[in-house]
Structure 1
Amino acid sequence: MNPHSDTLTTADGRTALRMERRLAHPPQRVWDAITQPAHLAQWFPSEVSVELRPGGAMGFSFPGAGEPGMTGTVTEAEEPRVFAFTWGEDHLRWEITPEGEGSLLTLVHTFGDRFGAASFASGWHLCITALEQLLDGEKVDVGRDRGELHEAYLEQFDLGRGIVEYSADGWRIRFERQLVRPAETVWAELTAGTEVLEGAPVPAGFTAPKTPPGPVTEVRRPALLAYALDPEGEVRWQLAEGTGHGPRLILTQTGPRDMDVDDLLASWHTRLTHLAARLLEG
C-alpha cells in the first residue's frame, strides 16, 4: 500500500471519513477507473450504473442480493478532478489531484452512523487496494477482512470509548461497538456455551469488576440479556443489526448519582476490549 492518511471527524450528527492515497498514475487514468462501470465492477463494493453529469441518476446493486439495489444522484462530475454522489443517505466525494507523475486520490465519505466508521474504513481500504491493483495492471485479488483491519481502525478512531449521560434520577453508561463475528458466535463467547434463563445467575462474560450482578431479568437469545445490580441499577447487553461484519453491541448500565462512574467506564472498556480480542482469536 502506498503512503496514506485516514481521519475521522464528526459534526452536527454527521461523520466524515477522509482517506488519501497516492497513486502512480495520472488523473485521467484514475478518473476512468472510478467513473466507468466496467472498471468500477472490478473494485467498487457493488455494481454501478451512472449518468455521468450533475443531477444524473446512479444505481447500486449487489450480485446475488435478491432484492432491488439502492439509488443515488451525482452531485459533482468535473473530469478528471471530482466525482461525487449520494448513495442512500450517505455522500461520497472522490477528488483527484495531480502529484508529480501520479495523483493524490482523496475520498470523503459522509454518513450518520458514527460507530459504523471502522466497517466503512476497512471496506474502503480493501476497495482502494483493489483499485490500485487494477491501475497497476495486476489481477484484482483482495482478500476479505477477517476483522483485524476493522479492529485497527476502531482503535485508531477511538470508537471503543463509553459515555455517561446524567439525569435527575442518576446516570447511564453507554457503549456502542461494532463487532466482527456473527451474533450467535458472540453469544456463545459471552455465555461460555451455557443456557441462560430469567432468574438465573448471570454468566461471567456479561459482567465486569465493580458491577455485582443480581439475577437475569430479561433474555432473548442471541440479541438481549439484562440483569439487576446489587444494590441498585441495571445492565443491558443488546446485539442489534450491524454494518456487515456482525452485530452492533449496545451496552448500558444505570445507577444512582452517588456512585463513581469513572472506574465503571474504565472497567467496561477493558471488558469489551477483551471481548473483541477473543472474537478475533476465534
Structure 2
Amino acid sequence: MTESQPDIKTICFERNLAHPPSKVWRALTVPAFLEEWLMKANFRLQHGHRFNFQADWGHVDCEILEFETERRLSYTWGDGTLETVVTWTLTPAKNGTLLTMEQSGFKKDQPRYYGGALQGWPRFFDQLETALARGD
C-alpha cells in the first residue's frame, strides 16, 4: 500500500501470472471472462464508455479513462459516494505477466471502502488465477 496524499489513500496489488499478457488482457476486457472472476459487467473497450459491475450486493459505476492494449487499462470505480480510479498494468515477464492493480482516491473518511478493497482485491486476484487456469 502506498499513500499519495495525507488525506487520500491508494492500494496496490501485484501478482505474477503464468499466462501471456494477451490472455490476461482478455480476462480484463471480455465481459464473459470478467464475470468469471470479478463481476458481471456491460463492459466495452472504448474511451469514455460508461459501464457498471453488478453483484448480489449492488453495483459499481465505471467509466473507461484510458487504455493501451495488453499494457494498461484505467477506469473510474464508484457508487456516488466512493470516487476512485482503478488502473491495471500488464508487464511482460519471463514466465508470463506481472499484473499490477492500483486503486486510488480513497478519502480518509471512507475506512469501510478502503478496508473492503484491501480484503476484496486479493480474493478477486485468486479468482482471476482460477479463471485463467481454466482456459479460454
The amino acid that maps onto 1:51 is: R
Distance 2:106 2:115 in 1: 13
Deviation of the 1:64 alpha carbon: 6.5
3-state SS of paired residue (2:70):
coil
3-state SS of paired residue (2:37):
coil
Counterpart selection for 2:133 from 128, 136, 142? 136
Deviation of the 1:51 alpha carbon: 2.4
The amino acid that maps onto 2:49 is: G
Question: Hey, what does 1:16 align to over in structure 2?
Answer: 10
Is residue 47–residue 63 contact of structure 1 (8 Å, CA) maintained in 2?
no
Whether 2:75 is the aligned partner of 1:85: answer yes
Query: Normalization by structure 1: what TM-score?
Result: 0.42
Structure 2: stretches of 5+ with no match in the other structure: none
Is residue 27–residue 102 contact of structure 1 (8 Å, CA) maintained in 2?
yes
Question: Hey, what does 2:44 align to over in structure 1?
Answer: 51
Question: Hey, what does 2:97 align to over in structure 1?
Answer: 103
Query: What is the count of residue pairs matched by the alignment?
Result: 128
Report the RMSD for the aligned CA atoms in angstroms.
1.9
Q: Write out aligned runs for 1:167-182 (5 A).
A: none
Q: Please give the per-residue CA displacement for 1:191-235, whole angstroms capped at 9, x wherever unaligned.
A: xxxxxxxxxxxxxxxxxxxxxxxxxxxxxxxxxxxxxxxxxxxxx
Larger Rg: 1
Deviation of the 1:111 alpha carbon: 2.8
Deviation of the 1:98 alpha carbon: 0.1
Question: Hey, what does 2:30 align to over in structure 1?
Answer: 36
Q: Write out aligned runs for 1:122-201 (5 A).
A: 122-137=119-134
Distance 1:64 1:92 in 2: 20
Higher strand share: 2
Is residue 29–residue 44 contact of structure 2 (8 Å, CA) maintained in 1?
no
Distance 1:64-1:81 versus aligned 2 partners, 3 A rule: same
3-state SS of paired residue (1:29):
helix
Structure 1 consecutive aligned stretches of length 4 or more whose deviation exceeds 6 Å: none
Structure 1: stretches of 5+ with no match in the other structure: 1-6, 139-282
Q: Please give the per-residue CA displacement for 1:180-199, whole angstroms capped at 9, x wherever unaligned.
A: xxxxxxxxxxxxxxxxxxxx
The amino acid that maps onto 1:13 is: D
3-state SS of paired residue (2:36):
coil
